[in-house]
Amino acid sequence: MAFTALEEILKICAERHISFWEAVIQEDMRDRAVSREATWSQMETMWEAMLEASQSYEVGRRSDSGLVGGAGGQMEAYRKKGHSLCGERMGRVMAGALQMGESNACMKRIVAAPTAGACGVLPAVLVPLYQEGGFLREQVIEALFVAAGIGQVIASRAFISGAAGGCQAEIGSASAMAAGALVSLMGGTGEQMVTAAAISLKNLLGLVCDPVAGLVEVPCVKRNVIGAVNAMAAADMALAGIESRIPGDQVIDAMKEVGEAMHVSLRETGVGGLAGTKAAKEITERISGAQPPQAGL
Amino acid sequence: MEKGETVCPKIRGRRFFSCKAWMYGTENEGYNIRIRYRAGLPAQKGEAIRMNIYDILGPVMIGPSSSHTAGAVRIGLITRRLLGEEPAEARILLSGSFGATGRGHGTDRALAAGLLGMKPDDIRVPDSLSLAEEQGLKIVFELGEIKEAHPNTARLLVIGENGKRLEVQASSLGGGRIAVDELEGIRVSFTGEAPTLIVRNVDQPGCVAQVTGLLAERAINISTLQLYRDCRGGQALMIVEADQNIPGELLAQLRGLRGIRKAIYVNMEE
């Protein structure tokens, strides 16, 4: 059985004198009965797909509903002017998150991480750092194993779908995965990876899933930005030596408790929260007027 | 499997029987068989889905939703593979959330793409309805509610180019994973993630033994085995999930066995 606690991964790291990503690889080899080469090359495929997806953004494309599209281009153009409050690197992260979120809404090819709705978070932080040239491809693949290990623990202890636990389970989980991956990339310790994951998940605790018209568009696309920016901040805090007073596993358990207490109208039903606003209801009415299409008739 | 065969026919009183058997042990020591059966219910329902790291990081897919888009492509694709020929006509009922928000998630295009043989990461998924028209595949979508079904459920009636008919009900479980819940009117439960053999046979002694015997000869290990039938001595359905791929010539051999009416093989990982 795969990992069920972050502490368990840290314990294995200490016992076997291995790094966090190596512990995740070894467990996957055992769990699925695959070779090291097989799992490594599968992760490389995921990274290639993320890179390709980040390059295939079309600035002029709009989703079928017309609700999203183009924001990734606007953010990129603004960043290039050089006056961004968040600076060069964070500007790239924000533009990347918007672009991937919009590509997803526009039915382009993406990598669910952990879900399609949260697919922008991980590539938004990893792609700019990789493209800046300071990191090897191998280091990025290792960071992806760290992210996958953290995500797996969250999935086994709590949930990773908005329908089950709200947006905190999707963007929150993606942010925790990305924060751990960033610490790995920066050469931090396993403990710092867990701390970064804990901080980023704590910061998004209680976030509800309230998609307008039930679509993965509003507010999902922009929440990818907050997941990515939050991951960068959490990783920096962990690397600065700041600790989380609540251990990572207990944060995940709290996320589960909060998600279970969340009213069903706030769990991907498209009923409460932003989805229940006057503007959202008008949008919903406009979209749902159409009949299902038929082919060949 | 003799033990399984003597146990199953003793269940009485209900229309459909579902029975799940686990075999464990080795050839030398002999096999132990544990069987769980319920009348008319899928044996796997409610069991937690195990997630490996590529269920977390992945799948590579066409957006926007792993359940409403990627899962829907897989439902279309497994239906195509179960049919075993080029589909010419399809009538698709979208139920629950599939009906409510399916359009905005491209669920209709995703199902059509799967029927055309595409996988969830195929960039042609958004254009599948016009591709279907070009290729002469007629698809009609309907909205409706299927009672007691998973929230993301589709029911497909497909007719192949050579006139084969198949009715499938399947649900999208999240993360792009799916389950077939009903096949030709019989409630079943399988995902197609493992090499899966679906056998229609006459409900008579020896059918299960013949099939499992042939698999054993080829060193193909059975991970799960489900048995269903409409009535004693009537039409039976056997679903075998295996650890190894089942080669084409073995499938042909299975089809030639006494009492076997039909054998279909699907492996969604291929």
Kindly list the residues from chain B whose CB atom is less than 8 angstroms away from the CB atom of residue A31. 52
User: Cα separation of A18 and B33, whole Å?
Assistant: 41
Which 128-167 residues of chain B touch chain A by CB within 8 A?
129-130, 132-133, 136-143
Interchain contact, B64 vs A107, CB within 8 Å: yes
Query: In chain A, whose CA is at the least distance from the CA of B133?
Result: A296
Interchain contact, B66 vs A115, CB within 8 Å: yes
Interchain contact, B66 vs A116, CB within 8 Å: yes
Residue B84 CA, chain-centre distance (Å), reads 13
Helices (H) and strands (E) in chain B, counts: 8, 13
Q: For residue A198, what are its two tokens?
A: 């804990």
Q: For residue B52, what are its two tokens?
A: 């490996």
Instruction: Tell me the shortest Cα–Cα distance from B158 to chain A, in angstroms.
Output: 14
User: Cα separation of A240 and A102, whole Å?
Assistant: 33
Query: Do residues A127 and A54 lie in contact, with contact meaning Cβ atoms separated by under 8 Å?
Result: yes
Nearest by CB: B132 against A2, A147, A296? A296
Q: Rounded to 10 degrees, what is the CA torsion of A4, A6, A10, A15?
A: -10
Question: Which one of A48, A110, A142, A184 makes the best mutation probe of the B interface by having the most chain B beta carbons within 10 Å?
Answer: A110
Cα separation values, A70 from A75, A78, A127, A214, B129, Å:
9, 13, 20, 21, 25
Least confident of A117-131, B7-21, B207-221: B7-21
Instruction: Output the pLDDT for position A292.
Output: 46
Say if residue B64 is preceded by a cis peptide, omega within 30 of 0.
yes
Across residues B130-153, what is the average pLDDT?
94
The interface predicted TM-score (ipTM) is 0.94
Instruction: Tell me the shortest Cα–Cα distance from A85 to chain B, in angstroms.
Output: 30
- Residue B3 pLDDT > 70, yes or no? no
User: Cα separation of B168 and A296, whole Å?
Assistant: 21
User: Cα separation of B16 and B95, whole Å?
Assistant: 24
Interchain contact, B108 vs A46, CB within 8 Å: no
Interchain contact, B66 vs A156, CB within 8 Å: no
Interchain contact, A145 vs B53, CB within 8 Å: yes
Contacts of A195 (CB under 8 A, 6+ apart): A183, A237, A238, A242, A243, A244, A248
Which CATH class name applies to B60-175? alpha beta
Interchain contact, A152 vs B51, CB within 8 Å: yes
Kindly list the residues from chain A whose CB atom is less than 8 angstroms away from the CB atom of residue B59. 111-112
pLDDT tens-place string over residues A39-60: 999 999 999 999 999 999 999 9
According to the CATH classification, is domain B2-47+193-266 in 3.40.50.720?
no
- Residue B37 pLDDT > 50, yes or no? no
Nearest to A54 by CA among A101, A16, A2, A9: A101
pLDDT tens-place string over residues A174-188: 999 999 999 999 999
Cα separation values, A60 from A57, A96, A279, B65, B208, Å:
9, 16, 24, 21, 58
Interchain contact, A215 vs B64, CB within 8 Å: yes
- Residue A71 pLDDT > 80, yes or no? yes
Across residues B171-195, what is the average pLDDT?
92
3-state secondary structure (DSSP) of residue A2: coil
pLDDT tens-place string over residues B239-254: 999 999 999 999 999 9
Kindly list the residues from chain A whose CB atom is less than 8 angstroms away from the CB atom of residue B64. 63, 104-107, 116-117, 215-217
- Domain residue ranges of chain B, discontinuous segments joined by +: 2-47+193-266, 60-175
Nearest by CB: A32 against B52, B108, B175? B52
User: Cα separation of B149 and B216, whole Å?
Assistant: 36
Interchain contact, B53 vs A297, CB within 8 Å: no
- Residue B7 pLDDT > 60, yes or no? no
Interchain contact, A270 vs B140, CB within 8 Å: no
Nearest to B239 by CA among B191, B203, B204: B191
Query: Do residues A176 and A228 lie in contact, with contact meaning Cβ atoms separated by under 8 Å?
Result: no
Query: In chain B, whose CA is at the least distance from the CA of A294?
Result: B140
Output the furthest CA–CA distance in chain B (Å, rounded): 58
* Unique residue bearing structure tokens 């799940």: B20
Interchain contact, A110 vs B63, CB within 8 Å: yes
Which 173-232 residues of chain B touch chain A by CB within 8 A?
174-176
pLDDT tens-place string over residues B103-126: 889 999 999 999 999 999 999 999
